[in-house]
Amino acid sequence: MGFRNTRLRTKVTALLLSLAALWAFAAWVTLREGVNLLWVSQLDSSIISPSEPLLVELQKERRVSVVKLSNAGVRSRKDLENQRKQTDRLLATFKESATAGTVDLALDDEGAKRLTDVLQELNTLKQTRQSIDAGQMNRLQATATYGEIIDSVYSLYGSLATLDDKVLAKDIRTLLSLSRAREVITREDALVAGALTEGRMTPSEHAQFTQTVGAWRILADQAAAELPASEKAAYDKVVEGQSFTRLKNLENALSQQDPSMGTLPFGADQWKSTTDRALADLNNLVLTAGDRLVERATPVAVNVVVRLILAGGLGLIAVVASIILSITTARSLFAQLQKLRDSAHELSDDRLPGVVERIGRGEDVDLAKEAPDLDFGDDEIGQVGQAFNTVQRTAISVAAEQAELRRSIRDILLSLARRTQGLVHRQLTVLDVMERRETDPEELKELFRLDHLAIRMRRNAENLIVLSGSAPARTWRRSVPMVDVVRGALAEVEDYTRVTLMPMGDVVLVGRAVGDVIHLLAELIENAVSFSPPYTNVQVSGQLVANGYVIEIEDRGLGMKPEDLESANERIADPPEFRITGTARLGLYVVSQLARRHEIQVVLKPSPYGGTTVVVLLPQELVQLDPTPEPPDGGRRERLPRRTPAVATAVRPVTGENVRTLKPARPVPVPAPVPQPSPPVTAVETQPETPAEPEQMPVTEFTSNGLPLRVPQANLAPALRDDTPTQPDFEEDDDERSPEEIRAMMGSLQSGTRLGRTEAARMLDEQSGDEA
């Protein structure tokens, strides 16, 4: 799979290398035979040739040593010293030749091991001589010790017969077997010569003699069975000749004699002449067969050289021609493919995305001019270009269909959101009327819960508007205090009772950003409340900084992994295009769209308490200082309309912050008051903020299920508040006022209420008309 994904140039290079490797392999197969002949020749000249005279001298030294052990006298001692000098001279020549550098190259692992064994055995020759001189060995032990040294040399010969020609290798091994048979005869000769010198043969020597006779005869017969027909005749002639016939007769006579007699049936001169003649005949047979084997190997060597020339020379010429042809063809192919690649990249990276983007915007595009077809002929590469043209046309058509589908989906989302938003506004209006009319605290509490659910439904509808790429219709023309903006966001959160609001400072938010900031903060606060345990609180704080105004939302939940934080921050900073399949974390997508609309920076980071802290940085152009609590009438800033009193009481203010009566954000403007003798307090107006004394702050009360209770007179102006701690008795109040005063007060209240509702309905109708 890895080679399939490599570049074409690499594949062509690999093809050429494989062709060269194939030629090298074929050349090496032929060259190996020649190298093998060369190594065999090297081993013959460095090991076999120097070792053959050494073997003969070792055999002679073994015979003289056995004779010396028979107490033959001073003459045998002198002959032994002369023979040892001759053996040492040939031994030094063999070691010098066998340890040359070229021998290591010619030998394989097995041959090198056996050569090491030979050198180790030859090094024991000195110790063997010392034991013989000291009389620590008998004739059998001396014969066996010399036999081990000579056997190691024959083992080395067997590992050197490694010719690739099986017939030649077989003939070489057969000749080595005949040579081993000759070695066994020399071992027999040394044993008998020692016994003849002493004049007797011990029973153990007689047994060893019998085994030796059987060994050389078995070796000779096995080797004869493997000889070629021409060599077999020569062997039969030697074995059936006079010398071997006399040797076998002497061997049979000695073998058939009773071992306890001790005497030998023949003399030393008769035995020596017989064995010397037999050994010479057998040696001549082996040398003659070896010469004929060399003559047979000469044509094989010539054939190897001829095949080497043909495979090496002509094959090399063919490989060079193939490489040249492949390079020229590949170069032309690469040039055409690169041209196709560059054209395809230009079309796919530059032209086609622009065409698709313009089609997505609904523009008319001339495809023949903007995305022309690729033309590279009618060959295989040209066919690839034609297939790419088909893919291009299909991609453009699919892009056009997808763009139309996305526009249709956005229109559907926008239509559904607008309709839902209108229904929610009407529902809020009905709930507002019911809240103003209801006096039962329990019923009013349930109405407030419905009101809160409706506000959250409105935010969900605005989410659809944001996803469709449009702007929500909820806007403000005047600045709003930052604390009211945050409270408006809290009014759209389900678990607002778990939110702790810290001092926000005397800062106001410009009207054009109020709706989007409320929506943005509501999404972030609801996310913090949802992903933190129900027994924990979420803290919201704000302060002025050098680059604007910072709002921090900190929860104490389980937090997010570093990779999830990085992914969320990247998604907020660079929101991807909204797709139907990307339904995960739609809240972050809505936040990113709202933040980008006003250049607001939103960053998520780990909280020291283990949760997550969201930092919202409002730019300087969106915030203003608020030195005066309430501007004069006619230029006053807008305040968020009043909504559920439970929100105002559930968000526990910190000492020093004014308590504001909060109504969830809704685009119901505050009507200008009509001058009257006794101006009533309308339900949609927000009274000016008055610093409240600590004892005047409302006390929050909660039911058994955690919902806040409505506290009577908690949000009335101080002038209208009744200081009586219990619910007022209307009959007593009526008794304290005259009928004229009561009539005037109720008339003013009804007039102001009617006027406020009329203005609110008119503004709502105008807004609905603008949305339509």
> In the beta sheet, which residues pair with residue 552?
541, 615
Indicate the average pLDDT of the chain.
75
Q: Is the pLDDT of residue 676 over 90?
A: no
Q: Given this model, what pLDDT does residue 600 score? A: 92
The fraction of the chain above a pLDDT of 70, given in percent, is: 73
Most confident of 157-166, 182-191, 723-732: 182-191
When pLDDT is averaged across residues 176-197 and rounded to a whole number, the result is 88
Closest residue by Cα to residue 586 from 463, 456, 421 = 463
The fraction of the chain above a pLDDT of 90, given in percent, is: 10
Closest residue by Cα to residue 424 from 462, 457, 449 = 457
The span from the CA of 230 to the CA of 223, in Å, is 14
When pLDDT is averaged across residues 613-639 and rounded to a whole number, the result is 69
Give per-residue pLDDT as tens, 601-621: 999 999 888 889 999 999 999
Extract the runs of DSSP E, i.e. beta strands, from 620-734. Answer: 623-625
The span from the CA of 505 to the CA of 171, in Å, is 112
Strand order of the β-sheet with 538-545 is 499-501, 538-545, 548-554, 612-619, 601-606
CA angle 646, 652, 658 (to 5 degrees): 95
Give per-residue pLDDT as tens, 328-356: 877 777 777 787 778 778 777 777 777 77
Distances from the Cα of 575 to the Cα of 412, 564, 570, 579, 585, angstroms? 22, 15, 8, 11, 11
Closest residue by Cα to residue 601 from 559, 549, 527 = 549
Q: Could you tell me if 572 and 488 are in contact, meaning their C-beta atoms sit under 8 angstroms apart? A: no
pLDDT classification of 656: cutoffs 50, 70, 90:
very low
Which residues, 6 or more positions from 575, have their beta carbon under 8 angstroms from its beta carbon? 589, 592, 593, 596
Q: Given this model, what pLDDT does residue 635 score? A: 42
pLDDT classification of 659: cutoffs 50, 70, 90:
very low
Pairing of strands 601-606, 548-554: unpaired
Give per-residue pLDDT as tens, 535-589: 889 999 999 998 899 999 999 888 888 888 888 888 888 876 655 545 556 777 7
When pLDDT is averaged across residues 138-156 and rounded to a whole number, the result is 88
CA 433 to chain CA centroid, nearest Å: 65
The span from the CA of 32 to the CA of 19, in Å, is 20
Cα dihedral 21, 26, 28, 31 sign: negative
The span from the CA of 668 to the CA of 451, in Å, is 15
The answer to which of 144-148, 477-481, 610-614, 696-700 has the lowest mean pLDDT is: 696-700
The span from the CA of 454 to the CA of 763, in Å, is 19
Tokens encoding 313: 């020379």
Q: Could you tell me if 174 and 226 are in contact, meaning their C-beta atoms sit under 8 angstroms apart? A: yes
Give per-residue pLDDT as tens, 469-512: 666 656 677 889 999 999 988 888 888 888 999 988 889 999 88
Tokens encoding 463: 């989410």
Q: Given this model, what pLDDT does residue 19 score? A: 76
Q: How many CB atoms lie within 10 A of CB 741?
A: 11
CA 235 to chain CA centroid, nearest Å: 73
Q: Given this model, what pLDDT does residue 550 score? A: 94
> Cα-Cα-Cα-Cα dihedral of 581, 584, 588, 592, to 10°?
-20
pLDDT classification of 32: cutoffs 50, 70, 90:
low
DSSP 261: G
Tokens encoding 230: 């021409």
Q: Given this model, what pLDDT does residue 585 score? A: 63
When pLDDT is averaged across residues 645-670 and rounded to a whole number, the result is 37
Which residue has 């050994």 as its token pair? 279
Q: Could you tell me if 647 and 487 are in contact, meaning their C-beta atoms sit under 8 angstroms apart? A: yes
Model confidence, pTM: 0.43
- For residue 604, the surrounding DSSP H or E stretch is strand 601-606
When pLDDT is averaged across residues 124-142 and rounded to a whole number, the result is 89
Which residues, 6 or more positions from 107, have their beta carbon under 8 angstroms from its beta carbon? 43, 115
The span from the CA of 250 to the CA of 260, in Å, is 18
Q: Given this model, what pLDDT does residue 112 score? A: 83
Q: How many CB atoms lie within 10 A of CB 219?
A: 19
The answer to which of 127-131, 217-221, 415-419, 674-678 has the lowest mean pLDDT is: 674-678
The span from the CA of 472 to the CA of 512, in Å, is 11
Q: Could you tell me if 580 and 526 are in contact, meaning their C-beta atoms sit under 8 angstroms apart? A: no
Most confident of 63-72, 118-127, 652-661, 741-750: 118-127
